[in-house]
A and B are shown apart, each in its own frame.
Chain A
Amino acid sequence: MNGNLPLKCLRLHAKVLFEPDMEIEDAIAKAQKVFDSARAGIRIDLVTTEEIRLPHLECLETAPCEDNIVGPEQEDLFNNREDVMPGDVVAYFVYMTVPPNDGCAGFPEGKPGFVIVHNADQWTLAHELGHVLGLEHVFDRFFLMVEGGTAQIKDPPPDLSAEEIECMRDSEFLVDCEDGEEDGQ
């Protein structure tokens, strides 16, 4: 559908405050599967994984995620960008958010990232990453950005529309891959 799009790369860092139930590499592989099956021409590169001890932020107070605003604890957490280049995206793995969410994609200006709780669904990382790359919720359970929750996704891997792919590829957080590959699928 999209032909062979020039491959764009997303540099992702994992900062682990609380070990998730699902292996981080597996969650990233699920997100990659979504991008590959939609022929989005996006590759996720996990650049670093770091355990950070911040017990006061393991249960993270968040502003309403849908408003893409952040509270003081999110500001505090997202300041942790050691070894992270400007434009790199950071996934912060916490025990839970308060109020309870599977994840939250609000981030402070210039510090792109998202939060994932320890018992999130297998598609949550991909979903939150979609938000960071500019996607909004949709009301179709075949799609990654389903409003009703990624646990409700039908016929996985979930879909991305052509418009969503275009939106993501326009994100400032994707860069040309250094190896210059094309999406050959």
Chain B
Amino acid sequence: MRDLESILRANEPRYYLAVEFQDEIIPRLREIIEVGEALFASKAVYFASLVRSSEVVNVIGSCLRPGKSKEIRVAAAAGLRNLKDGTTALFETALSDEDLCVRKAAIYSLRTAPKSFAVPMLLKIIQEEDLPFLKELAAKILKEIG
């Protein structure tokens, strides 16, 4: 088993190594997310999204809460692109975040969401989002996924 901290302390973490981990690593990831400094913790959030565990949805959901730091919320919104199921409410939370970075990461994540869900979400963003560049991004991704 590789050393989690060594992976996450790297300047450019090898996130693909997350597939080597399962449920047993979740408590340690939660601990890093709670007490680690912002950059280290944000790496742990994104790494968690790639771990093969049913707990991942709960980890990412807790990281999207408004009280969490911006780095954590952005990493969680980006992590949504790696989740398969149970993400509807998480996307809604991320897409209504006050921070544009969180919303942008969530829009990018819609690229890999089920089309039946992603298309209405993207149409809603195009209609309701205030920032022109996020509207444009949503339109671009809508065109990509068709």
Contact = CB atoms under 8 A, between A and B. Distances in A.
A66 B65 CA distance: 31
Interface stretch (B24-32, B36-44, B56-64, B114-122): B36-44
Contacts of B16: 64
B12 A65 contact: yes
Q: What is the interface of chain A mostly: helix, strand, loop, or mixed?
A: mixed
A74 interface: no
Contact of B42 (A96, A120, A128, A147): A96
Interface string A147-158: 111111000000
A99 B50 CA distance: 12
Interface residues of A, number: 30
B91 interface: no
Given A59-B74, A95-B101, A119-B38, A148 B12 contact: no
Contacts of A102: 11-12, 39
Q: What is the interface of chain B mostly: helix, strand, loop, or mixed?
A: helix
Contacts of A58: 101
Interface in A88-136: 95-96, 98-104, 117, 119-121, 124, 127-128
A100 B71 contact: yes
A60 to B, nearest CB: 10
Given A65-B12, A119-B39, A96 B133 contact: no
Contacts of A121: 11
B15 interface: yes
Contacts of B15: 64, 99
Interface residues of B, number: 29
Nearest to B46: A99
Nearest to A148: B6
Interface string B1-37: 0000010011111111000000000000000000001
A124 B71 contact: no
29 contacts: A55-B100, A56-B100, A56-B133, A56-B137, A59-B74, A59-B101, A59-B105, A61-B104, A64-B12, A64-B15, A66-B12, A66-B14, A96-B39, A98-B78, A98-B108, A99-B15, A99-B46, A100-B43, A101-B11, A117-B39, A127-B11, A147-B10, A148-B6, A149-B6, A149-B9, A150-B11, A151-B9, A152-B6, A152-B9
Interface of A: 55-56, 58-59, 61, 64-66, 95-96, 98-104, 117, 119-121, 124, 127-128, 147-152
